[in-house]
Amino acid sequence: MAQPPPREMRRYLVIHTDESISEPMPIPDHIHIDILDSELGSRGLRDWDIQIQSRSELGAHGLVTDKSYESRSRKAEKFHGMLLIVSRIAAIQNMPKLPKMMIDSWAGKKTNEITRKLLNLCDISIEDIRTIPAITLKVRLETLVGPSGLVCDIGTSSQEASKNRQKASDRDGLKWIKCKIVSGTTPCAHKSSGSNLVEVFSSHVFTTHFGINPFSCDCGVEFSRDYKLKKHHNRNICGFAPQM
């Protein structure tokens, strides 16, 4: 049987800087990756990866990327990013129901910033979460809601929940939400009630107290409420409205 022709494999170095990504540079066959890593590291180049390409087996003209290696610090950076995401998820999971609903439903693309702001109210930084035992984390996050809550106090109605199931699931048995955030020396007097009280209250906290507009268009304009973004898209002035 005839031997298949040897696959042509090539390694290319791609260096990432703040401003740009370099053209892929072929790496000589005899250079070991560890040597390259320390060589580049000693020159202060820590953000790079290696793409391994070979001729496509389908006989197509182009090269396909098989695998890629990354510099140690690039890997560490990604790992750090992953830890932060895990910490954020843990924080949200351990929050009382209302702040959890606020983030899950009304934080738009600003989940990260909003979670940080809520944690700040409890004096917790997202970087410290993995050092806090889950039980302690839960107890500290409980302080967000209650008569002396850091964010709000709530009134519930079990009567209303049983009267109208559909409506009750929207409001989740909540009758009113009272803002307890203190800005400066004056405690906030905002109180939400009505059918979309979680949305209204979320928008109040995120925009008024945190200065964050969670709903943004790709053109860069940001909105406090979901319906305002939808209106912006319906008018389709910027050309970034999602395709239906």
Q: Which stretch binds Zn ion (CB under 5 A): 94-102, 109-117, 120-128, 176-184?
A: 176-184
Answer yes or no whether residue 176 interacts with Zn ion by CB under 5 A: no
Q: Sign of the C-alpha dihedral, residues 212, 218, 219, 223?
A: negative
Answer yes or no whether residue 200 interacts with Zn ion by CB under 5 A: no
DSSP state of 204: I
Answer yes or no whether residue 83 interacts with Zn ion by CB under 5 A: no
- Residue 142 and residue 24: Cα distance in Å, rounded? 51
Answer yes or no whether residue 102 interacts with Zn ion by CB under 5 A: no
Answer yes or no whether residue 188 interacts with Zn ion by CB under 5 A: yes
Closer by beta carbon to Zn ion, 139 or else 182: 182
Closer by beta carbon to Zn ion, 190 or else 228: 190
Q: How far is the CB of 195 from Zn ion (least distance, A)?
A: 20
Closer by beta carbon to Zn ion, 131 or else 236: 236
Answer yes or no whether residue 179 interacts with Zn ion by CB under 5 A: yes
- Residue 124 and residue 104: Cα distance in Å, rounded? 20
Closer by beta carbon to Zn ion, 88 or else 110: 110
Answer yes or no whether residue 240 interacts with Zn ion by CB under 5 A: yes
Q: Which residues form the interface with Zn ion (CB under 5 A)?
A: 179, 181, 188, 190, 217, 219, 238, 240
